[in-house]
Structure 1
Amino acid sequence: MAEGSGLAPTLADLGEWELIERLGAFAPPGQFADDAALLDGRSQRTLVVNTDVLVEGVHFSDATMTAADVGWRAAAANLSDLAAMGCREVLGLTVALVAPAATPWAWVEGVYQGLSAALGCYGGTLLGGDCSGGGQRLLAVTALGRLGADGPIRRRDGYPGDALVSTGPHGLSRLGLAALLQEIPTPPAAPNWRQAGPALLERAVQAHRRPRPRLDAVAALASCRPVGSPWRVAGTDSSDGLAAALKTLTQGSGCDALLERRDLPLDPEMAALAIAESWCLNGGEDFELVLALDPGWARQLIQALPGTRRIGSLTPGSGILRWAGDGSPLADADGSFTHFH
């Protein structure tokens, strides 16, 4: 099918070089003209590199998001990992695209529009990438950023006595996915869902389709750091779920986590749903930061960053998540998403 036929062109119609030329429109002039990207090497701050793969049917589908949403999420997932390492500056992304030849150009264009929109919000440019034909749509994105002047955030830097902090609510993305897949039953047959009103579902769908990488939380951490305190923050993002994030912190730091059930980071309206606690812990794809830091610093951060709350503490241990009060282990702490299972 020729593009001149009036029908929407596919990648087979365009061919590799025309596709690359079109994708170059989303990058600075000349950025796609060579075999690799050049970065300004004058800064002395540490460079951070992260790569994520998004696979159709695993991370996205046409049933739940538009092509622009796919592009936004691809960027946001990688930028979230930069934030989780303590980056204050985004340099850019490289994107490798695999797609069947019958894929419409309009879908690819939408993906890159979403990528560009995210970069427009959080900084950085499209640095380059690659493209290939294949049997399944796939995006492999590499993000590059620079640490702030203070230092990195690492999973292993937690100490017993540290406050555990979440930068925002958890479970909304999972609720949004359920709404998009029409998995939410209709009352009165399911009275526990009566509280899932239109405003809540709209927030949930937005959280699923357009997550926010919490680079602002890194800036807030630096701005409210107590005078004279060393830079020591343990942290990760919660892309695989809150419980999974806490497990990585406890195992990396050689501690247990003692959680307050009443302080779980839930959207107030979502908290009324029977499924809320399970999805808060294991829903995944919320892309908030989960941090362990000195309690005084945590109080300052909570005052400085709206939506942040203390959810518990680190205690001596060996990587177990426990409820405060009776010290019992979390029953569903291993229910988060993992690949290959």
Structure 2
Amino acid sequence: MGSAEEPTLAELGEAGLIDQLARFAPPGQYEDDAARLRLEGDLVVNTDLLVEGVHFSAATTEPFHVGWRAAAANLSDLAAMGCLGALGLTVGLVAPAQTPWPWVRELYQGLRSCLDAHGGGEVLGGDCSSGQHRIVSITALGLLPPSAPGEAPGSGAPVIRRCDGRPGDVLVCTGSHGLSRLGLALLQRSLPPGPCQLLGDGLVARALRAHQLPVPRFDAVRALHATRPAASSWRVGGTDSSDGLVAAAAAVARASGCHARLDRAALPIEPGLAQLAEGERWCLAGGEDFELVLALESPWAAALVAALDGSHVIGRLASGEGPPGAITWLDGASLPSGTGGFHHFEATRGRGGPA
């Protein structure tokens, strides 16, 4: 049972819940059956689900962080397509009737805080239902920027697509990898005491923040525009690394009809994380780092890395025999087993689920 201060969803009822949720949206937004937007440009739409026991659990994730991560995952996909921000998002919520209202309130506070800090936009509406498990479904909307002055007619908006890599392109990632997975391990208390002592307070704090408050990389998209060489047309292959660094590189290679070759000596891994037995594997396949992995012509890649703090050249795309999407080290050696990234319906345990 709830109380006058903290009712459950059953005590609020559907109408009462909608009245409460309307406080997180512009005035009047929840009064109609759908949201209306006036658009000028190419619209990008993305939907992601967060499922309790798969993407989060009460043992590791406060409701504020569930909301932030739900928003960030969707905003990251907008950035991975070339958007510079968000128009807004809709929220579908499933929760058991006994869920306390403060859990939902903090969830929406996390959503709203992520929007305010990264990408802008509004909560445009959504839906809610009772159910046995908590599920958060977010649909995010963004606009691609217009073509740059002087761009060839018919070239379209500057979109980032997985299929736009070419053999010889340099692979660039926008930041370190493995920190989010380290943060999850810290929250699950699954690291032995010895390795924990090697990390240091600074790395621990960064790992927890990377897992709980990930940052969608709209700034990297702005840097792409700012560093494009004058003689280069817009062609950027890319995706985000929500399912892992290797999975992202392989996805770009596969869609582009290429193979990917990674430089083991240039992995984007924090020195403290590299000391752990699991460090390299978490860098390659930990997931939920929400960085961008981009395939660029060499001059553009060099300019981007020089301008964007924390970005790294990690390898290149190449032609080769066999099916597209094959991924090895630069010398042709195979990557360690278990670095293919997260795949739904194949995993025995979710990324953010119970330890």
Normalised-by-shorter TM-score class = over 0.9
Secondary structure of 1:269's partner?
A: helix
Q: Return the match for 1:113 from 109, 113, 123.
A: 109
Residue 326 (structure 2) pairs with residue 320 (structure 1): yes
2:337 is the counterpart of 1:332: yes
Cα distance between partner residues in 1 of 2:235 and 2:338: 26
Task: Quote the residue 1:36 is aligned against.
Answer: 34
| Distance in 1 (alpha carbons) for counterparts of 2:218 and 2:3 | 42
CA contact (8 A) 1:173 1:285 kept: yes
Give the CA deviation at 1:201: 1.3
CA displacement at 1:121 relative to structure 2: 1.1
How much has 1:149 moved relative to structure 2? 2.0
- Cα 1:2–1:330 change in 2 (3 A) is closer
Contact kept, 8 Å, 2:281 with 2:339, in 1: the verdict is no
Alpha-carbon offset, residue 248 of structure 1: 0.4
> Could you say which residue in structure 1 is the equivalent of 2:188?
181
Aligned partner of 2:314 among 286, 311, 314: 311
TM-score, normalization by structure 2: 0.91
**179, 186, 193: which is aligned to 1:172?**
179
Aligned residues: 332
Normalised to the residue count of structure 1, the TM-score between the two structures is 0.95
5+ residue gaps, structure 1, are: none
Is the 8 Å Cα contact of residues 237 and 288 (structure 1) preserved in structure 2? yes
- 1:238 Cα deviation (Å)? 0.4
Q: 1:140 aligns with which of 137, 147, 159?
A: 137
Query: What residue identity is the alignment partner of 2:20?
Result: R
Following superposition, the deviation at residue 330 of structure 1 comes to 1.4
The offset of 1:193, in angstroms, is 5.1
Shift of 1:332: 2.5
Structure 1 segment 25-64 matched on structure 2, within 5 A: 25-41=23-39, 43=40, 45-64=41-60
Q: Is the alpha carbon distance of 1:2 and 1:226 closer, same or farther for their aligned partners in structure 2, counting shifts above 3 Å?
A: closer
Q: CA deviation at 1:167?
A: 0.1
Match of 1:157 in 2: 164
SS in 2 for 1:51: strand
- 1:37-94 deviation line (CA, Å, top 9, x unaligned): 01122x2x20000000100010111111211100000000000000000011310000
1:138-157, Cα deviation, whole Å (9 max, x unpaired): 00100000012241100001
1:98 equivalent in alignment to 2:104: no
**Which contiguous aligned blocks of 4+ residues in structure 1 show a shift greater than 4 angstroms?**
none
Unaligned runs of 5+ in 2: 148-157, 347-355
Residues 232, 109 of structure 1: CA spacing in aligned structure 2 closer, same or farther, 3 A cutoff?
Answer: same
**C-alpha distance in 2 between matches for 1:54 and 1:243:** 22
Give the AA of the match of 2:270: D
Query: 1:2 deviation in Å?
Result: 6.9
Report if aligned partners of 2:76, 2:217 keep a CA contact under 8 Å in 1: yes
Which of the residues 197, 200, 222 maps onto 1:197? 200
Q: Distance in 2 between matches of 1:225 and 1:256?
A: 24
Amino acid at match of 2:47: T
Two-structure CA RMSD over aligned residues (Å): 1.3
Mean CA deviation greater in 331-340 or 201-210: 331-340
Q: Does 1:246 align with 2:249?
A: yes
2:277 to 239, 261, 274: 274
Choose 327-336 or 92-101, whichever is displaced more.
327-336
State the alpha-carbon separation in 2 of the partners of residues 172 and 98 from structure 1.
30
| TM-superposed deviation, 1:195 | 1.9
| CA positional deviation for 1:328 | 1.4
Q: Give yes or no for contact 1:28–1:126 (8 Å, CA) kept in 2.
A: yes
Residue identity in the other structure for 1:27: A
- d(CA) in 2 for partners of 1:159, 1:83: 21
Q: Secondary structure at the match of 2:199?
A: coil
CA distances 1:115-159 after superposition (whole Å, capped 9, x unpaired): 000111120000000000000000010000001224110000101
Cα distance in 1 for residues equivalent to 2:26 and 2:175 = 34
